């Protein structure tokens, strides 16, 4: 491969072992951590459009919507900052929490972080469901955010460490799969509770306790990863665990690589300072840019505001909620596609194909909206054109769901050496949460001011990120996670940042294998 690849995927070193039912079950349980993330993404948009909720907590917003003349531009009719702040504030809390999670995950293990995440989220869900004033609502939101910060920091790392290299992509994407199931479940719940005469919002918010319970109870029974056990000096336990998850007593090679990686890791007292060293530049740059780009695909415009967007396109209330359910379903199924192909075709093929497909749809939707609403924002979609827009949005969601959705969590979790893994993952979570916040907060204003140009704006970013992947993101499939430096070393651009001794470990063990 001329650019980006550098090392052929097949070069991944093979350890002994097989895929055991034990590791599959552990990964499935851990992946439920994605449920709480997804449920929250999907639930807030619907709740904030329920009249009773608005009357109770945001009466001014309610009055404004009721008294709207109906003559304003289609582009601007939903602009409101207070309300978007309710949705997006959670992501700020998650951002801050992910830094605390980093220390917890490193010192006490991935499992503890998952348990903390689940429990705090549970308390948040109870507070929200029982809310009698705005304070309870906001404190609840903050606790939900803390839970998500902890879960998203620890679950992807847990999955990447437990999984055997050749199945790492598929097992890690279990997290994204759970996220999409959470979003879809929330869409359905909202569809149901919107029909309730009273307290529909309360039921929607309180039901978040369910995924939190599943995750918390699951985490209590999970074993910790061998990597983390070694990192915390429990070598014997780590070896036993490795034998158990790989289904063979013969884990010598993998175990000794883990021990070597941990020895390097032990020398690092300040992971945050260390990650700034030049030899970690490829990881640092990629871990900052991937979550940024993931959010600049514009996906959360659909996830948060699908009903609003479809209403803007002229769909009736019910049809709008239903359309959100349809995109939710597409999201789940397309994620499954990526589980099947990610370890076979690799990450790069998915990134590149997904990028091109998203770009084509964004241009299509932009042109369609421009031709109907123009710059003035007055007009209405015919049924046929409305359905065409819905179809394009579904094709866009599918592309995201097999590329940037799962890979945005997979790639950052598999590229860091042990000594900076927790810190790197916190950067990933916090950048992701920050831009989720920004998009959540600004989308309705951007739609109001940029009009159909908004779709071209996100399209421009998708073009840029696709080019970035082509040149700067190497293939990581099948490469053992503690051997990843070989990938960077072989890369046309990043190679110069990796000192020779950083790949010495792998030379030593390959010699030993031969
Ligand atoms: C992203 C979320 C997004 C979700 C959609 C995740 O990977 O981080 O922001 O809402 O995918 O499925």
Cα dihedral 159, 160, 164, 169, rounded to 10, equals 100
Question: How many Å lie between the centroid of ligand 1 and the Cα of residue 300?
Answer: 7
- The residue contributing the CA closest to ligand 1 atom 10 is 300
> Which distant-in-sequence residues (6+ apart) come within 8 Å of 356 by Cβ?
466
CA gap 38, 36 in Å, rounded:
5
**Is 225 strand, coil or helix?**
coil
- Asked whether 423 and 102 are in contact (CB, 8 A), the reply is yes
> Which distant-in-sequence residues (6+ apart) come within 8 Å of 420 by Cβ?
268, 271, 274, 275, 280, 283
**Ligand 1 binding pocket includes 298 (Cβ within 6 Å):** no
At residue 504, the pLDDT reads 64
**Ligand 1 binding pocket includes 179 (Cβ within 6 Å):** yes
**Ligand 1 binding pocket includes 152 (Cβ within 6 Å):** no
- The residue contributing the CA closest to ligand 1 atom 1 is 405
At residue 79, the pLDDT reads 67
At residue 106, the pLDDT reads 87
Count of beta carbons in the 10 Å neighbourhood of residue 194: 19
Atom of ligand 1 nearest to the CA of 183: 12
CA gap 189, 45 in Å, rounded:
12
Place of tokens 């006490």: 108
At residue 224, the pLDDT reads 93
At residue 12, the pLDDT reads 54
Question: How many Å lie between the centroid of ligand 1 and the Cα of residue 171?
Answer: 17
At residue 13, the pLDDT reads 66
Question: How many Å lie between the centroid of ligand 1 and the Cα of residue 36?
Answer: 12
| Tokens read off for 99 | 């830094």
- The residue contributing the CA closest to ligand 1 atom 3 is 300
pLDDT in tens, the chain (514 residues): 445 443 333 445 678 888 899 999 999 989 999 999 999 998 987 888 788 998 998 888 788 777 765 555 666 766 677 777 777 789 999 999 998 998 898 889 999 999 999 999 999 999 999 999 988 998 999 999 999 999 999 998 899 899 988 889 999 999 999 999 999 999 999 889 988 889 999 999 999 999 999 999 999 999 999 999 998 999 999 999 999 999 999 999 999 989 988 888 888 888 899 999 999 999 999 999 999 999 999 999 888 877 777 777 777 777 777 888 899 999 999 999 999 999 999 999 999 999 999 999 999 999 998 998 887 777 777 888 888 989 999 999 999 999 999 999 999 989 999 889 889 988 999 999 999 999 888 887 887 888 889 999 999 999 999 999 999 999 999 999 888 999 999 999 999 999 988 776 444 443 333 2
Percent of all residues in the chain with a pLDDT value above 90, rounded to a whole number: 59
């Amino acid at each position: 491969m001329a650019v980006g690849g550098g090392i052929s995927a097949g070069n991944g070193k093979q350890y002994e072992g097989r895929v055991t039912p034990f590791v599959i079950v552990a990964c499935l349980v851990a992946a439920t951590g994605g449920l709480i993330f997804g449920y929250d993404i999907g639930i807030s948009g619907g709740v904030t459009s329920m009249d009773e909720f608005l009357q109770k907590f945001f009466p001014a917003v309610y009055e404004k919507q009721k008294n709207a003349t109906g003559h304003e531009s289609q582009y601007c009719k939903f602009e409101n900052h207070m309300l978007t702040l309710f949705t997006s504030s959670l992501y700020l809390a998650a951002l801050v929490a992910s830094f605390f999670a980093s220390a917890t995950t490193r010192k006490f293990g991935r499992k503890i972080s998952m348990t903390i995440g689940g429990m705090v989220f549970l308390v948040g869900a109870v507070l929200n469901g029982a809310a009698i004033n705005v304070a309870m609502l906001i404190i609840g939101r903050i606790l939900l955010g803390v839970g998500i910060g902890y879960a998203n920091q620890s679950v992807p790392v847990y999955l990447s460490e437990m999984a055997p290299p050749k199945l790492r992509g598929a097992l890690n994407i279990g997290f994204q799969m759970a996220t999409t199931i959470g979003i879809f479940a929330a869409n359905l719940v909202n569809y149901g509770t919107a029909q309730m005469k009273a307290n529909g919002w309360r039921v929607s918010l309180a039901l978040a306790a369910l995924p939190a319970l599943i995750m918390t109870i699951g985490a209590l029974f999970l074993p910790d990863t061998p990597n983390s056990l070694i990192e915390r000096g429990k070598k014997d336990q780590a070896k036993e665990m490795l034998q158990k998850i790989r289904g063979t007593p013969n884990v010598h090679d993998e175990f000794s690589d883990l021990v070597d990686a941990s020895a390097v890791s032990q020398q690092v007292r300040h992971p945050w300072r260390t990650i700034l060293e030049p030899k970690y530049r490829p990881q640092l740059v990629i871990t900052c840019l991937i979550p940024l780009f993931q959010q600049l695909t514009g996906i959360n415009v659909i996830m948060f505001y699908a009903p609003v967007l479809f209403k803007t396109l002229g769909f009736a209330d019910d049809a709008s909620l239903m359309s959100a359910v349809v995109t939710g379903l597409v999201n789940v199924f397309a994620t499954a596609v990526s589980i099947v192909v990610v370890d076979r075709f690799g990450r790069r093929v998915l990134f590149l194909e997904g990028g091109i497909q998203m770009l084509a749809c964004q241009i299509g939707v932009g042109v369609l909206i421009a031709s109907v609403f123009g710059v003035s924002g007055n007009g209405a979609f015919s049924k046929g054109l409305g359905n065409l827009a819905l179809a394009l949005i579904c094709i866009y969601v599918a592309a995201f769901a097999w590329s940037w959705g799962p890979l945005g969590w997979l790639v950052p979790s598999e590229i860091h050496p042990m000594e900076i893994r927790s810190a790197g993952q916190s950067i990933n979570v916090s950048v992701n949460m920050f831009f989720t916040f920004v998009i959540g907060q600004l989308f309705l204003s951007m739609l109001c001011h940029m009009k159909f140009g908004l779709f071209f704006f996100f399209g421009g970013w998708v073009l840029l990120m696709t080019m970035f992947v082509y040149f700067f993101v190497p293939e990581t499939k099948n490469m053992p996670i503690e051997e990843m430096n070989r990938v960077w070393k072989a890369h046309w651009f990043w190679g110069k940042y990796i000192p020779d001794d950083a790949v010495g470990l792998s030379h030593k063990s390959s010699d030993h294998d031969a």
